[in-house]
Amino acid sequence: MAALKVAVVGAGVIGLSTALCIMETCPNCSVTILSEQFSPNTTSDVAAGMLIPHTYPDTPIHVQKQWFKETFTYLFAISNSAEASEAGIHLVSGWQVFKNTPKEELPFWSDVVLGFRPMSKAELQKFPQHQSGQAFTTLKCDCPPYLLWLEKRLKAAGVQMYTRKVADLWELHGKYDIIVNCAGIGAHQLVGDKKLLPIRGQVLKVHAPWVKNFIRDGDGLTYIYPGIHRITLGGTREKENWTLSPDPGTTKDIFDRCCSLEPSLWGAQDIQVKVGLRPSRQCVRLQREVLSQGGVKLLVVHNYGHGAGGFSVHRGTAKEAAGLVGECIAALQGSSSKAKL
Ligand code: FAD
């Protein structure tokens, strides 16, 4: 049987990592990425890239934990290799602080990150407006370098990449055997998923190389995430807001909130403002689907809807999506050998 052709729609962190996992698990198929935008113009480029999971209400916690663990283990190995600086992956230590005692003392991911513990009284003196906190070390992706590193690996593995907007998955029928939908918020239009909604996020990327520790307010709204070259200051979570242009009032508000947590940021320089739309859903859509039109079938694997936590779970969900592609390949090979008989 000739090599099966797989098209991955989307070139954010989910599309690129899914394409890579497909190449690793199904080396005999040919993979093409079709995307309206590539780095640096995706939502994934805007993200802070911190590995602190977001919770998906309709996905069992043990599944979310497994996705996070696989992602953490994968990136930890990169951070511990000569590839780390090119891939933009590094360890970062810091604090999550709470004004009120959090509902759950131990988040489900506390034994995946490193050295999770309650903050000491001495540490809490840095945060006079907060009552308690958690200290830990996690990983951070500097997003544009990580996306370019994934693209480089894909090109080396022979994956073709084309800039193309796909208006309807059926456009790809005949040319490809399996379609993998990693269109992020674009899936709202592409497959008409009304359960998928944007949560607008505005962040600032600033130069303040003296800030080495991350600080996250437990409400999830205000955060300071140091990267290799710049620090991400956040943020906002605006449900069903599709506006991509930055709002100057919000920029000032984010900067003030972050300076109140870390006063040395008043000296930050070169403030850039970015906006992205988190592809939000009650659960990630990780699913096989057989579309059918007039007796003709199209095999689709969906992997989208990662909301505020795409970087935290990308490798785990990419592996699962590659497994679903493997199931489609087995089904196609089964039907072609039956046809020969
Ligand atoms: P995208 O990056 O949007 O990629 C979708 C791709 O599909 C794009 O290439 C697009 O061009 C393409 N596409 C869409 N429609 C079509 C079409 N019709 N035809 C062809 N191509 C199409 N997550 C974390 O884990 N940690 C964080 O610290 C973090 N911080 C964040 C901060 C902000 C401000 C924001 C906005 C998000 C943050 N996230 C974070 C969430 C994370 O960014 C997302 O979960 C993740 O980027 C989603 O990746 P994606 O590949 O699904 O989407």
Query: Does 43 appear as a known binding residue?
Result: yes
Distant-in-sequence, close-in-space partners of 95: CB < 8 Å, separation ≥ 6: 119, 123, 126, 127, 133, 134, 135, 213, 214, 215, 216
* C-beta 203 within 6 A of ligand 1: yes
- Say yes or no: CB of residue 304 within 6 Å of ligand 1: yes
CA of 46 to the centre of ligand 1 (A): 8
**What is the per-residue pLDDT for 148?**
98
Query: Given this model, what pLDDT does residue 338 score?
Result: 62
Given a contact cutoff of 8 angstroms between Cβ atoms, the answer to whether 287 and 191 are in contact is: no
The closest-lying atom of ligand 1 relative to the alpha carbon of residue 312 is 25
Residues in the chain with pLDDT < 70? 1, 336-341
| b/e 133-165 (16+ beta carbons within 10 angstroms → b) | bbbbebbbbbbbbbbbbbbebbeeeebebeeee
The answer to whether 235 touches 202, Cβ cutoff 8 Å, is yes
What is the rounded distance in angstroms from the CA atom of residue 302 to the CA atom of residue 8? Answer: 10
Q: What is the pLDDT of residue 203?
A: 98
Residue linked to tokens 């933009």: 88
**CA 322 – CA 120 distance, rounded (Å):** 43
pLDDT at 313: 98
Asked whether 180 lines ligand 1 (CB < 6 A), one says no
Determine if ligand 1 sits within 6 Å of the CB of residue 278: yes
The Cα angle at residue 101 between residues 95 and 103, in degrees rounded to 5: 100
Q: Residue 41 half-sphere exposure, CB side, CA atoms within 13 Å?
A: 6
State the amino acid at position 155 in one-letter form: K
- What's residue 336's pLDDT? 66
278 labeled part of a ligand binding site: yes
- The residue whose C-alpha atom lies closest to atom 6 belonging to ligand 1 is 10
Beta carbon of 309 within 6 Å of any ligand 1 atom = yes
CA distances from 196 to 6, 32, 64, 149 (A): 24, 25, 19, 28
- Residue 276: CB within 6 Å of ligand 1? yes
126 lines ligand 1 (CB under 6 A): no
**What pLDDT does residue 3 have?**
86
The response to whether 296 counts as a known ligand-binding position is no
| Per-residue model confidence (pLDDT) at position 1 | 65
**Residue linked to tokens 């079938």:** 297
Ligand 1 midpoint to CA 43 (Å): 4
Closest Cα to atom 21, ligand 1: which residue? Answer: 35
Question: Which of ligand 1's atoms lies nearest the C-alpha of 45?
Answer: 2
User: Considering only CA atoms, which of 17, 44, 40 is closest in space to residue 154?
Assistant: 17
Going from the Cα of 235 to the center of ligand 1, the distance in angstroms, rounded, reads 16
SS (H, E, C) the chain: CCCCEEEEECCCHHHHHHHHHHHHHCCCCEEEEEECCCCCCCHHHHCCCECCCCCCCCCCHHHHHHHHHHHHHHHHHHHCCCCHHHHCEEEEEEEEEECCCCCCCCCCCCCCCEEEEECCHHHHCCCCCCCEEEEEEEEEECHHHHHHHHHHHHHHCCCEEEECCCCCHHHHECCECEEEECCHHHHHHHCCCCCCEEEEEEEEEEECCCCCCEEEECCCCCEEEECCCCEEEECCCEECCCCCCCCHHHHHHHHHHHHHHCHHHHHCEEEEEEEEEEEECCCCEEEEEEEEECCEEEEEEEEECCHHHHHHHHHHHHHHHHHHHHHHHHHHHHHHHHHHC
CA 337 / ligand 1 centre spacing (Å): 39
